[in-house]
Amino acid sequence: MNENKLLTIYGARLSKSGKHINLTLVEGEGENKRYYTACVKVDADAKTHGSIKGNEAHIVVPMLEKPKDIDIDQLDQVDEVPF
């Protein structure tokens, strides 16, 4: 049985303190959906951080490894999950 789950970002909201963006993540379908929350600092000096621009949350996440040279037109054809 594969314990790794693929989570999709469902939405985001600013925390009550205004210091974090709370991301709502979802996995599964229909009545089997499960929801999770991830928290990202609103601090440009943090390694992973976010900001609010208009009605959108912008999240900056460092790459785990240096990206390979990929033709930008081929990105939609890549279906690679890292586990």
68 vs 61, more confident: 61
DSSP string for residues in 19-72: SEEEEEEEES-GGG-EEEEEEEE--TTSSSEEEEETTEEEEE---SSPPP---G
How do residues 6-49 score in pLDDT, each as one tens digit? 899 999 999 999 999 999 999 998 999 999 999 999 998 999 99
pLDDT, position 1: 42
69 vs 51, more confident: 51
Q: What is the pTM of this model?
A: 0.69
Domain spans of the chain, in order of start: 8-62
